[in-house]
Structure 1
Amino acid sequence: MTTRRTSKVVLAVVAVVGLAMTSGCGLRSASGAVLDAEPGEIKHYDSLEGVSLTVAAKDFTEQLILGNMLSIILNAAGADVTNLTNIPGSFGARAALTGGTANVSPEYTGTGWINYLGNDKPVKGEKEQWKAVDDADRSNGLTWLEPAPMNNTYAFAIRAEAAERLGAAKLSDLKKLPKDELTFCVESEFAARNDGFVPMLEAYGLSKDAIGKVTTLDTGVVYTATADGSCNFGEVFTTDGRIPGLNLTVLEDDQQFFPLYNLTEVIASDVLAEHPELKEIFGQLNPRLTNEVMLELNAKVDTDGEDPAIVARDWLVDEGLLK
């Protein structure tokens, strides 16, 4: 699964997106299809009949599910939906939104605040971080709706067996462990970030000299290396479907070090002003999107090999939001 925390070098993607738009090829999802579903708790709105809405989402598992979820919901609510799920990279999806190619996107508050708006330090508190990014992005013509509970942030995971053996349930437990047990697998970007590995160690009272081996790996390999015992502690993302699939246990960030990446919908402000019912629609969805829900949905794709669009629709139907 590609991460949504893309480094700033990926700004080059914006240029690629621009070429795609101007060449007439446009941005497309892998299929571009929007699966049909009938209104349920989310009703049909006559006010959305004939309204064209375009959803932009990124190209990793969670975003494939969420982009399809938003597209299916808006279609059932009455809009004419274009599904641009599967855009390469965070900045590609952002360019589609700011450039007017898309007007709705599933996003993460931390990504908006740090990656898009260029802030170095996160804001503490879920509502506070959301409010800060929403206030700042209004000048770009974008509104961030009130976010879901799910927070797809950095974390460290450990094999369930090792967690029990070491008595490790939270990151503050690391300080009591012997050096030879403090073995870590991390990706290269995380190792260098100002909200990454070394500052995390310092926040929990550890120095680089106090820990054992640190192995730098590609993101996907970190999960399997942690599961097979190549390291005790692996850097993960909290809603990644491989966590339950590999029987990993996520350590609690009890000092609340890592930035908050709560999910919400970012909508073009002019579109939201014309159709305030969009806030009502997503206000029914967002409270149900928890870390536990996304772990389960992501695992259906990453572990069980199911189609993200079908996973999205089936969950919406199971929840009664659609039929």
Structure 2
Amino acid sequence: MRSTLTPALAALALTALTGTAHAQSSDPVVVSSKIDTEGAVLGELIIQALEREGIPTENRLQLGATSVVRSAIQAGEIDLYPEYTGNGAFFFDMTDSPVWNDADQAFETVRERDADNGLVWLRPASANNTWAISLREDVAKANDLVTLEDLADYLADGGEFKFAASAEFVESAQALPAFQQAYGFDLSADQLLVLSGGNTAATMRAAAQQTSGVNAAMTYGTDGGLNALGLVVLEDTLGVQPIYQPAPLVRESVLEAYPSIDPTLEAVFETLDLETLQRLNADVAVNGLSAEQVASDYLDSLDP
């Protein structure tokens, strides 16, 4: 979601693409995605859903990081890809705006701003792939911990807690300090295991294996390994973190050529709640299935 490539690599990726800026009804819809697991899953869902409705597609999945696919759709080199509402904060230089902490406002903002760019945001999934604090499921159940408010009460009562996170998460004003300020708790140094890098696979593994007494981890909301490793996301009831809901982003001219894209993809994305997207990601990242097979099986399950 937040990975980057150098301008040179981005330019190279774009050079390798072909396409036109204007869509005709006979042209295939060029579908792309970011290079991570969730990008592959969402991209395959889009391609296969469109193909099942008789809309021709061209597969350009796993193209690159956010900057690459964003540049490609603006240049008309790709037509459609899954993007996250919260990334509008960076697209439109609005990182200090509170609109990103509200799902509806975030969606309306990106939809209105990108309309000027000839881009249309379709209805997002309810799943939120944002920074989160996750806890071992056994600890959460034993102590009735569902929300971060519950966690604050648990900590105030002296509950056992050790948190694995990246240095960025611990130090960034928008991450752990924001959670602590909003919910009124303060983790001491001996309650933290700070790991180099920002790989949530490492933090989740530390919690699952109880490395150095760790029972909680920095994660993203839709991380595929959560269920497999026995971790649960504690709900951010105060909306501290920006909302990152995945949504199809399509060029306006392509949507005009294929208006059925909208209802077709809405029918799929409206089913993608947090647990569902976690499970689909896990089928790829943990169980070793291909994104193509996972998408096919899921769409089959949606058929009446």
TM-score (norm 2): 0.87
Deviation at 1:131, TM superposition (A): 0.3
Q: Is this contact kept in 2: 1:51–1:79, CA < 8 A?
A: no
Q: State the match for 1:26 in structure 2.
A: 17
| 1:30 aligned partner | none
| Superposition misfits of 4+ residues, deviation over 6 angstroms | none
Equivalent-residue separation in structure 1 for 2:13 and 2:192 (angstroms): 44
Partner of 1:308: 291
Q: Rate the CA distance shift 1:288–1:166 in 2: closer, same or farther, 3 A.
A: closer
Partner residue in 2 for 1:147: 124
Correspondent of 1:80 among 56, 63, 71: 56
1:146 maps to a residue whose letter is R
Alpha-carbon distance, 1:102 to partner: 0.6
Which segment drifts farther, 258-267 or 157-166?
A: 157-166
Question: How many residue pairs align between the two structures?
Answer: 292
Distance 1:210 1:188 in 2: 12
Q: CA RMSD in A?
A: 2.4
1:197 aligns with 2:180: no
Conserved 8 A contact 1:56-1:96: no
What SS does the aligned partner of 1:276 have? Answer: coil
TM-superposed deviation, 1:244: 0.7
CA deviations over 1:153-179 (Å, ceiling 9, x no partner): 221111122224555332123333167
Match for 1:215 among 194, 197, 200?
194
2:86 to 95, 99, 110: 110
1:237 positional shift? 1.4
Stretches of structure 1 that go unaligned for 5 or more consecutive residues are: 28-47
Change (3 A) 1:199 1:214: farther
1:94 counterpart = 2:70: yes
Q: Which runs of 5+ in 2 are unaligned?
A: 19-23
Q: 1:86, 1:187 → 2: CA distance?
A: 26
Deviation of residue 13 (structure 1)? 3.5
* Alignment counterpart, residue 5 of structure 1, candidates 2, 5, 11: 2
**Structure 1 residue 224 corresponds to structure 2 residue 205:** yes
Aligned partners of 2:28 and 2:57 also within 8 Å: yes
Corresponding residue of 1:285: 268
Task: Report if the CA contact (8 A) 2:130-2:244 is conserved.
Answer: yes
For the residues of structure 1 that align with 2:254 and 2:168, how far apart are their CA atoms? 36
User: What do residues 94-133 of structure 1 show as CA deviations (whole Å, max 9, x unaligned)?
Assistant: 122112111101111112x223222213424322210011
Contact 2:118/2:252 (CA < 8 Å) preserved in 1? yes
SS at match of 2:164: strand
User: 1:82, 1:189 → 2: CA distance?
Assistant: 38
Residue type of the alignment partner of 1:139 = D
